[in-house]
């Protein structure tokens, strides 16, 4: 015969019995550990051409965002690169300065290997290094064109492909970011081969985005406008020689006539956008080239 114990009897069981039952239970052996969030984990970034200008601003911004940063530039700028790394360390982040010419694949491979060995797995590659030259189309030499593409196109390719292989090996996804320009959308006169190189960066970014998607690697580019850097000082000076304008007048004219917001950009305008592209907030973006020009080009 089955016996049923009324529910009321159980509800009214003495608290002493409940205490005895708890005491006879085996102690829990499960330990719970705090798992760090993505934001709390160490993240690393390589920023090429970061001894000065936009690259320097990007390196500082990523450090403030919590990245350990590999500062890169050519040997001529090594002391400045080391100064940037030292300042990042003073911010409480880890940083190293590594010399490499991005136009040389072997040097980029050494750059990535050194960064991984010193800072840890690579999360973000910012292929920022680039050069500019002001010269009329019919005056361009084969060497002019080759040098422009060696740095601005092959340099970005070397950074993208080397970093992507490292990220795939890590099996943790990642972000590839490249420096384009407003001239990747609308070429400027006397900047033809520079414009062509940045169009190539834009196209290569889209191609890499398609092929890297299966590896959870996003690939985007940023396109600055007229920025108050040494590069644009050179452009201003060289354009002035062609047009007879005084130093500084060309940028002033471009600023007043072309920029909707009415001011020349500063490197921090660009680094803020790169910060977004390097963050989890842009995880659903890939293959895009984001223009930061104050309203010259409207996409």
Residue 103, C-beta contacts closer than 8 angstroms, at least 6 positions apart = 150, 151, 154, 155, 158
Cα–Cα distance measured from residue 47 to residue 84, given in angstroms and rounded to the nearest whole number: 11
Cα–Cα distance measured from residue 202 to residue 181, given in angstroms and rounded to the nearest whole number: 9
Q: Do 94 and 135 touch, CB atoms closer than 8 A? A: no
What is the band of 166 on the pLDDT scale with cuts at 50, 70, 90? very high
Average pLDDT, integer, range 167-194? 95
The proportion of the chain whose per-residue pLDDT surpasses 70, expressed as a percent, equals: 86
Cα–Cα distance measured from residue 22 to residue 25, given in angstroms and rounded to the nearest whole number: 5
Cα–Cα distance measured from residue 37 to residue 40, given in angstroms and rounded to the nearest whole number: 5
Q: Do 132 and 231 touch, CB atoms closer than 8 A? A: yes
Catalytic residue annotation: 194
Average pLDDT, integer, range 138-144? 97
φ/ψ of residue 268, rounded to 5? -65, -25
What is the per-residue pLDDT for 188?
A: 86
Q: What DSSP line would sit under 245-260, residue for residue?
A: PPTTHHHHHHHHHH-T
Cα–Cα distance measured from residue 200 to residue 168, given in angstroms and rounded to the nearest whole number: 24
DSSP-based three-state secondary structure for 180: coil
**Span 230-279, pLDDT tens digits:** 777 777 777 777 778 888 777 788 788 899 999 999 999 999 999 999 99
179 DSSP β-pair partners: 222
**Span 25-64, pLDDT tens digits:** 444 443 333 333 444 468 999 999 999 999 999 999 999 9
Which CATH fold would you assign to the domain 41-226+266-292? Rossmann fold (3.40.50)
Max intra-chain CA distance, the chain: 112
For the chain, what are the domain ranges?
Answer: 41-226+266-292
Report the predicted TM-score, pTM, of the whole model to 2 decimal places: 0.84
What is the per-residue pLDDT for 41?
A: 64
């Amino acid at each position: 015969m089955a016996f049923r114990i009324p529910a009321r009897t159980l509800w009214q069981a003495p608290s002493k019995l409940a205490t005895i039952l708890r005491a006879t239970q085996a102690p829990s052996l499960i330990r719970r550990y705090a798992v760090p969030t993505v934001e709390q984990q160490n993240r690393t970034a390589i920023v090429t051409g970061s001894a000065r200008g936009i690259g320097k601003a990007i390196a500082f911004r990523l450090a403030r965002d919590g990245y350990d940063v590999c500062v890169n530039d050519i040997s001529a700028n090594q002391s400045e690169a080391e100064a940037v790394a030292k300042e990042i360390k003073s911010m409480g982040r880890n940083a190293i300065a590594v010399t490499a010419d991005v136009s040389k694949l072997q040097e980029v491979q050494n750059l990535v290997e050194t960064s991984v060995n010193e800072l840890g797995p690579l999360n973000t590659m910012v292929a920022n290094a680039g050069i500019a030259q002001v010269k009329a189309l019919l005056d361009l030499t084969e060497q002019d064109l080759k040098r422009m593409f060696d740095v601005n196109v092959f340099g970005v390719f070397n950074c993208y492909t080397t970093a992507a292989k490292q990220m795939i090996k890590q099996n943790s996804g990642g972000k590839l970011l490249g420096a384009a320009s407003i001239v990747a959308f609308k070429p400027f006169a006397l900047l033809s081969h520079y414009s062509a190189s940045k169009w190539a960066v834009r196209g290569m970014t889209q191609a890499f985005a398609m092929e890297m998607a299966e590896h959870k690697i996003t690939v985007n580019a940023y396109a600055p406008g007229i920025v108050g850097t040494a590069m644009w000082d050179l452009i201003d000076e060289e354009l002035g020689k062609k047009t007879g304008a005084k130093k500084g007048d060309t940028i002033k004219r471009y600023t007043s006539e072309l920029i909707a917001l009415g001011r020349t950009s500063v490197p921090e305008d660009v680094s803020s956008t790169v910060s977004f592209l390097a963050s989890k907030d842009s995880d659903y973006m890939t293959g895009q080239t984001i223009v930061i020009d104050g309203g010259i080009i409207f996409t």
